[in-house]
Structure 1
């Protein structure tokens, strides 16, 4: 990456003017363009403003490739536009159509897996075989079934991405895969580490745009517009991807060990009822658990140390059965993981994202995040993109996971 900038302004004309200046300085040099653009605040002119912004980005250079999406604003009431320019010799663009998970049917997955999780089945089990086993009360090995599905999708990785990561000059090095996705990224996110264990990945789930463009999400690859799948870039990068907790989260209680988990559910912590453990921590801290403004979270800790490297939203808890449910797109930490409860008041800030520095950052914003007096800001050497749908992070050796907690940030230095 030889250039990046993040621009926020209440005026689409101002952003277009900035983009024209950048184009005059850099467009003549061969490049690949990466961009994230938030739509203008709804008004009589917002559709024409958005069209002008998109046209400016897609015609940045007629001979260059581009990858982008519609994202969320970094400053409420303003338009955010982040761009990055890569040397085409060191990067490849791709478009993925690998299907992700269907929407979870609450309770069904948990009940069926509990019943059949101890018996072995073949990895190439077809769907009709699985359904027959379920209808007859037969056994299903869910772990092998999911692994088989991953192996099926691995071959569907975009050819350009596969060729790039398999090339002799990169086979033994570390690469980063950066992408914008629809709301079901699991097919792509799980296939990348299976095929390329040394590749890091960071994916932004594009903001929902049904009332903006008429599409569930809006993705761009060259001159094409998509509303499913993913678009992205891959490039050489030996630097690790970082993850930062929101500044306003506070730990609750002591570190605990996961002793039973499945899917997105935690069944026991320290061999005890996890919901009751959370309630005990809440009572001890004097927190009003009934307040809408209070948010409870679960962090995953390294084997040594106290700073969480993952943070998940707790979406439900059953005091009698004890099960804690995490956000549906996340697999619960595996047995043996060290975890920590957190809480906070729902007042996420974005100011830390907009401080000087040199990085590419994806963050989660809340649809209700508070207003700001700042009307225009330009950050050189920063690519900062936000979404209210979250991001996916997968570092070397880590199972990819999704984060939907407002204020969390993942970045490439």
Structure 2
């Protein structure tokens, strides 16, 4: 870090540092990283990279096209197993909003868009929505409030990583940094303006298909009620039997519902519970795939370990989800150039712009999942 060219310090810095760094040097390293930019830095403590171990990732972004920000907008905890979809009324929990809508003359979309703009982090409020093409976020486990605020930028791909939990490392639930200041909650991030515009892509490693393609025909909240009009729990059991997964392994392994676009897996959600009699399966997600979505069932063995690939793709910013078993490290220090790669056991969140419109924010905690901005 002592060899950083002086000209780079004139640009804002995005950084992550593995929480596995020895406690004796952690504070000093965070302070050093925060000093590598004269115009602003944002970062967090992350997980170790599979196959590489303790890692530090750095990205300096053109100061003319990047704006750093800090958000303390509250969100809500991740959903529990099996719940109905909450409406915007219950998410906000503010009686005044309800009264204004009930009185008439104010529509939900107009009111919500207005509130989103008003609640934007101060650093972003003066930016023109049409100028923002990407937003990068490092967040705690409740990003919903910020996600709603960022709908004010409908043309922007949004990509975030949930920081690694650090209660036994720093005494904070999460450790987020901006300009040398440390935060336990909320989010920090960078908004990117002007060309070139990157694409936002997702992919999954170590997932294996165990079913044919099906269509979601019944869903509510994070619950899938029917697939092709049939009982999804029974379909899962039948698929496991056909796949050859042994009963003793199935109890330890993980199974997923994956969403396909143009025949490719782009989203995957853990199946957290199911009941063959009732049929419904619950997903670790804020919302189940929508009706008519094309999906498949997937399997991931606990014996399979996600690894940080060679990452031949350059000019990319990648957030990767790790699992409990992803603990291997490289024998020697390894340097990746022209790619920002960070990971967290808590996964990533994102919202892509598809056909000119932003999709609903969604999160993924599937080990081996990767979301990346690629230039």
TM-score between the two structures when normalised by the length of structure 1 = 0.79
The residue matched to 1:89 in structure 2 has which SS?
Answer: helix
How many angstroms apart in 1 are the aligned matches of 2:265 and 2:313? 24
1:274 to 226, 232, 241: 232
1:91 to 66, 91, 94: 66
- State the Cα distance separating 1:29 from its structure 2 match: 5.0
How many angstroms apart in 2 are the aligned matches of 1:256 and 1:105? 25
How many angstroms apart in 2 are the aligned matches of 1:215 and 1:318? 38
* CA deviation map 1:291-345 (0-9, x unaligned): 244221111112xx32111111111111111111111x43111111111111121
* CA deviation map 1:106-154 (0-9, x unaligned): 55x43x98xxx9xxx9999855999xxxxxxxxxxxxx99997786455
Partner of 1:32: 12
C-alpha distance 55-162 of structure 1, shift in aligned 2 (>3 A) = same
C-alpha distance 52-264 of structure 1, shift in aligned 2 (>3 A) = same
Partner of 2:170: 213
How many angstroms apart in 2 are the aligned matches of 1:389 and 1:330? 14
2:218 to 236, 254, 260: 260
Query: Does residue 244 of structure 1 match 2:226?
Result: no
Matches within 5 A, 1:350-369: 350-352=307-309, 354-355=311-312, 357-369=314-326
- State the Cα distance separating 1:21 from its structure 2 match: 1.1
* CA deviation map 1:71-130 (0-9, x unaligned): 0111468421000111211110111111111354555x43x98xxx9xxx9999855999
Flag as ranges the 4+ runs of structure 1 deviating above 3 A: 26-29, 75-78, 102-107, 121-130, 144-154, 353-356
The residue matched to 2:309 in structure 1 has which SS?
Answer: helix
The residue matched to 2:146 in structure 1 has which SS?
Answer: helix
RMSD: 2.9
Answer yes or no: is the 8 Å Cα contact 1:98–1:229 preserved in 2: yes
Query: Does residue 50 of structure 1 match 2:13?
Result: no
* CA deviation map 1:30-79 (0-9, x unaligned): 210110001235xxxx2221012111111224x32000000011146842
- State the Cα distance separating 1:375 from its structure 2 match: 2.8
Matches within 5 A, 1:93-242: 93-102=68-77, 104=79, 106=81, 109-110=83-84, 126=94, 152-166=115-129, 171=130, 175-193=133-151, 195-236=152-193, 237-242=196-201
The residue matched to 1:333 in structure 2 has which SS?
Answer: coil
- State the Cα distance separating 1:370 from its structure 2 match: 4.0
Partner of 1:295: 254
TM-score between the two structures when normalised by the length of structure 2 = 0.86
* CA deviation map 1:256-278 (0-9, x unaligned): 11111111111111111111111
* CA deviation map 1:365-395 (0-9, x unaligned): 1122142343310111111010010000110
Answer yes or no: is the 8 Å Cα contact 2:71–2:186 preserved in 1: yes
How many angstroms apart in 1 are the aligned matches of 2:267 and 2:220? 17
The residue matched to 2:166 in structure 1 has which SS?
Answer: coil
Partner of 1:21: 3
Extract unaligned runs of 5+ from structure 1.
1-18, 131-143
Q: Larger Cα Rg: Structure 1 or Structure 2? A: 1
Extract unaligned runs of 5+ from structure 2.
99-106
Answer yes or no: is the 8 Å Cα contact 1:123–1:145 preserved in 2: no
How many angstroms apart in 2 are the aligned matches of 1:290 and 1:149? 49
Q: Number of aligned pairs?
A: 357
How many angstroms apart in 2 are the aligned matches of 1:96 and 1:301? 33
C-alpha distance 232-352 of structure 1, shift in aligned 2 (>3 A) = same
Matches within 5 A, 1:246-395: 246=205, 248-291=206-249, 292-302=251-261, 305-327=262-284, 329-346=285-302, 347-352=304-309, 354-355=311-312, 357-395=314-352
C-alpha distance 126-53 of structure 1, shift in aligned 2 (>3 A) = closer
